[in-house]
Structure 1
Amino acid sequence: MKRNIVIATVAAAALIGGGTATAFAVGGDDDSAANRSSVQLKDHDRGDDDGKDDDRDDAAENTAEAKAAKVTAADAIKAALADTKGTAVSAELDDEDGGLVWDVDLLNGKTWHSVEVDAGTGKVLGSWTEKDDDGDDAADAARVNSALKGATVGAADAAKAGADKGTVTSVDLDDDGTATAWNVETTGAKGAESEYDVDLKTGKVTADHSDDHADHDDQDDNDTDGSDD
């Protein structure tokens, strides 16, 4: 359940008079952390975005990112937990303007944290307390804590299980109030993406075909629309 983030670090700046200034940071991920990543992808590394074949461009980008990352999802989660106390809820390999990082979300009680980990070295580049832009932090936290109650398989365990299927690029708690699994995204040798569910209690890995069903429904809708013309 990757969350839309608004990071609000309230500044008490005294620019005149020698005080210490703390900058406002409002938005999503911190670009400065990505800029410090040891893995900087160039446009040609990620494939040419010529607009003619989006699937091809996406596959090339997925392949480049997966190959460039030297740190696994499981290791990134481990590094984040060593830096910030909490329970890992998600981890995503993220290319921010060329800087490759693992963005790991942690939950400690009712407080959300975002930790960015260098995808090349495993070094923590930054960590922030998060605030959800819809103001539902407490409700989100309660839902996640309820889903993880009694779970024996954590995000890092799910990442390790998914690694048997391909290079893991994302681990996320299934975005459902009655979540029973981790959703793991992998990238194959040719950039093809696959999704798997890892059971929270048993660790059993099964293919996730929910997107296939959605694509099929979209195709049915398009066919229906076309027949009405």
Structure 2
Amino acid sequence: MKRNIVIATLTAAALATGGTVAAFAAGDDDATATQSQTNTSAQSAADRDDDASEDRTAVRSGSVTAAEAIAAALKHTPGTALSADLDDDGADTWEVTVVKGDGTEYDVRIAPDSGKVLGAQRDSDDDNDADDRAELAAAKGADTDAREAALAAAAKGTVTEVGLDDDNGAVAWSVDTVKDGKQGEWKVALDSGKVTQDRDDDGDDA
């Protein structure tokens, strides 16, 4: 009889211990899931900051403005400037897209610290499709060119990119800026040069 009682007691203790272990295991699973969600949220936040971080790094790398880079590119390769981008892919150069009078497109690289032309390469991948022709026509007929658009938007911050944007048939210059560590996106009218905040931009600047 005593032997049966001892066996029953040991069995109950084992079940209780196992239950406790199972409970701890379940608790560990919840903690792991919570930690995983936290890590995912942190990664998403880091991804959202990537573009702003790259722009800030590029801005710190040189003192040549977008307007100056465009002017230097046009002096080297006369034509119509369609865009300028302060690239931060390791080269840290301004890349200005210029279309010459014969329709050929060139990417002109400008040093961000000296404004020196580092080279010009013809864009052999240019398809010159209907959209490209429409943008070129809009740029040629604009009262405000890319350099002037960059100058106008400079009042909102340091310009890191300027280019043409077609929003449902309404073509305007689209300009990205950085100010106090924050990005801004702006539209510059082709006719008047008026600067307005991009309606798709969630920034706080106005």
TM-score calculated relative to the size of structure 1: 0.63
For 2:106, the aligned partner's letter is H
Number of corresponding residues: 159
Pick from 148, 156, 171: which aligns with 1:165? Answer: 156
Conserved in 1, the CA contact under 8 Å of 2:157 and 2:177?
Answer: yes
Gaps of at least 5 residues in structure 1 are: 1-49, 213-229
Question: Runs of 4+ in structure 1 displaced over 4 angstroms?
Answer: none
Which structure has the larger Rg?
A: 2
- CA shift in 2, pair 1:64/1:141, >3 Å: closer
RMSD between aligned residues = 2.1
Q: In structure 2, what is the Cα distance between the partners aligned to 1:102 and 1:180?
A: 23
1:103 aligns to what?
95
Pick from 126, 129, 144: which aligns with 2:119? Answer: 126
Q: CA deviation at 1:63?
A: 1.8
TM-score calculated relative to the size of structure 2: 0.70
Identical counterparts, % of pairs: 45
Q: In structure 2, what is the Cα distance between the partners aligned to 1:118 and 1:53?
A: 29
Q: In structure 2, what is the Cα distance between the partners aligned to 1:56 and 1:107?
A: 33
Q: CA deviation at 1:69?
A: 2.0
Query: Which structure would you say has the larger RCO, counting Cα contacts within 8 Å and 6 or more residues apart?
Result: 1
Q: 1:98-133 CA deviation, whole Å, 9 max, x = no partner?
A: x21000001124211110000111000010111236
Gaps of at least 5 residues in structure 2 are: 1-41
SS at match of 1:69: coil
- CA shift in 2, pair 1:167/1:138, >3 Å: same
For 1:186, the aligned partner's letter is T
Q: CA deviation at 1:152?
A: 0.9
- CA shift in 2, pair 1:63/1:111, >3 Å: same
